[in-house]
Chain A
Amino acid sequence: MIRFWNRRFRTGILTENPEFDKEMQTIRKEMKDLVKKRFAGSLAIRMVDSGSCNACEAECNALSNPYYDLERLGIYFVASPRHADVMLLSGVMTFNMTPHVLDAYKQMPEPKWVISLGACPVMEAPFEQTFAIKGPATAHLPIAYHIPGCPPEPIEIIRGLLAFLKGI
């Protein structure tokens, strides 16, 4: 254990790593202010996967690693749609999943927004229309903002969330 703490103190805070440029700092500051103003300090996101390849989920999980640490900006992922302000939708809308996605959306309290994540929900991924895919998410849900990428990198997701916050 002593070796662990030794390493812990030697490593310091990774999020200050020089490879993260100034822009990240500004984003952080701006975002903190916006989250504070519009959502009383915290923005709750419910991530819903309606048929992705799991890369978008892996990138959202990466948002909580020490390099990005999204939660310190007051943005966090919640376990229930009833606790959420925003639904983050990834993956193509599959025939089997669509009723459940709509259910989850219904369960969210007003005011609520949907952000689509990655190329799949807007049908820009290589996946083609088949009988098992129910077209772009815009046909089923009011999409407030789209974060492009296949998958979007964690830094792009943070930037996207910031742009969304600026827009509402």
Chain B
Amino acid sequence: MRLIARYAKECEAHFEIITVWDTKIEKESVPKHDPRIKTLTKQHPAAIWFERKMHDDYGIIIEDAFDNRPLVHQEYFPSAIHPMQKAFQAKSITPSDYKPYKYETIGGDGVFEVAVGPIHAGIIEPGHFQFSQAGEDILHQEVRHFYKYRAIEKMLEGKTLQAAKPIIERISGNESIAYQIAWRDIVLQATRSELPEQSRKYHALLLELERMIHHLTDLGFIPNDAGFGAALAFASKLSEEARRQLQRLTGHRFGFGAIDFESHTMQTEVWLHYLETLEEELALFEAWIIDIPSLWDRFDTTGILKAKKAKKYDTVGIIARASGLTLDRRDEPFYQTHGFVLQTESSGDVAARYKMRLKEARNTLTMLRNFTVETSEAITLHTLQDGEYFSFVESAIGELFMSVEIKDGVIERFFVRDPSFVNWQALHLMMPDNIIADFPLINKSCDLSYAGNDL
């Protein structure tokens, strides 16, 4: 079984622990006065972040956990506060005394530590990486995040689904459309409404265009981190053009506000012409980049994630597929009839993740053609019904999971698990046998989101 998410929720007299697997959803109640649960980390190491977060959020004690350090709450965060509890309503907190965070390290003669972050050298989001080094070789790495923690789950409580949308679409800018589609599916479920085929196609087109932008950007940045700048110049031109198409379609370069239940018309002629030029440029790019041996020397066998490990750590998205796992939320009839073909690689290294992006970009191009519609239809939603709703979307990074509980017409509990949340936990597995200079390359080949992870 694959672990998708594990989170808690406060009810009247108890906390409910919800564990989402790929085949079922398990619920467990624990009393409020003594909330204790058993850890899942022995079978599913990636459960540890979910469980540490649960402790920070609600004060739930994980009885046999090997790691009890705070996750979201950092050095200056007051330790007695569990902000997701309904009783906590403060809008500001006073920093407490500095409590040092104990990093996972490896000891030994001549082994030293390298601290990287939270502010990185470049235009990147903040996060921290702690390396244990033997000379240039990486022995171990710990990923530490949540610098961007904005408390979005708490922020959305008490809002209607409509009022929550502008915030949901800004959780992670690069995955905005995916987040909006997850929101859309929840609205549709909660109102017992059906989306017409045309609108579904239009939304899927926007999601594929977002994926295309994401992949094109990475196709440039990954070689750039291996010192091959020409690829960045080429691919960033392509991604800029794709972003302009997104702006032309939605009025926004990142598609904020793009997914709704209104009617939209596309200028299909301009669009199809664009796809033609993109296809030609992409083919040229691929033929060129695949034939640069010094670049593939850096890519091959760098940052390997074996299929067994990828499975054990419940990874999703590009990372999982590059290691040979056949996981893709688009692997269903609607996408399949529009040209979707599941892509995988087997070697699990930087080269595999790069080739995955090339393959998926090509497949996405086919789908962009097939999803083209003249107009999408407007629909009227039925009345909203209280309940607990779940949705899954394949974002450009991987499987996105969102769950919303609605009570009295407003959000009672909002939970979202970005694909990055599980994938970040597998990053350290790619490090052994690599040198620290290859870390930026490995990290970029995964291209995970910090904002979606931190919430």
Contact = CB atoms under 8 A, between A and B. Distances in A.
A25 B18 CA distance: 58
Contact of A54 (B76, B151, B174, B240): B174
B118 A97 contact: yes
A138 interface: no
B317 to A, nearest CB: 17
B432 interface: no
Contacts of B121: 79-80
A3 B83 CA distance: 59
Contact of A127 (B74, B81, B170, B237): B170
Question: Which of B90, B119, B147, B176 has most chain A Cβ within 10 Å?
Answer: B119
A130 B243 contact: no
A153 B254 CA distance: 10
Contact of A58 (B81, B154, B173): B173
Interface string B62-86: 0000000000001111000101000
B291 interface: yes
Interface string B137-156: 00000000011111110110
A66 B170 contact: no
Contacts of A57: 123-125
Given A67-B240, A132-B149, A47 B123 contact: yes
B155 A130 contact: yes
Interface stretch (A27-35, A36-44, A87-95, A159-167): A87-95
Contact of A94 (B95, B123, B150, B154): B150
A108 interface: no
B451 A52 contact: yes
B167 A95 contact: no
Interface in A103-156: 104, 125-135, 150-151, 153
Interface string B300-341: 000000000000000000000000000000000000000000
B172 interface: yes
Contacts of B236: 61-62, 64-66
Contacts of A52: 125, 148, 173, 451
Interface in B155-171: 155, 166-167, 170-171
Interface residues of B, number: 55
A100 B148 CA distance: 12
A7 to B, nearest CB: 6
Contacts of B254: 55, 58, 151
B290 to A, nearest CB: 12
A131 B75 CA distance: 15
A59 to B, nearest CB: 7
Given A94-B147, A97-B148, A100-B118, A49 B83 contact: no
A51 interface: yes
A160 B93 CA distance: 34
A24 interface: no
B174 A55 contact: yes
A91 B148 contact: yes
B24 interface: no
A58 B74 CA distance: 27
Interface in B422-455: 449-451, 454
Contacts of B256: 150
Given A14-B237, A52-B173, A131 B119 contact: no
A19 to B, nearest CB: 9
Contacts of B88: 131
Given A65-B240, A66-B233, A54 B450 contact: yes
A94 B240 contact: no
B170 A53 contact: yes
Nearest to A61: B123
B237 A67 contact: yes
Question: Which of B146, B150, B236 has most chain A Cβ within 10 Å?
Answer: B150
Nearest to A132: B151
A4 interface: yes
B280 to A, nearest CB: 10
Given A65-B236, A79-B121, A126 B126 contact: no
B123 A131 contact: no
The 3 closest A-B pairs by CB, nearest first: A55-B173, A79-B121, A65-B236
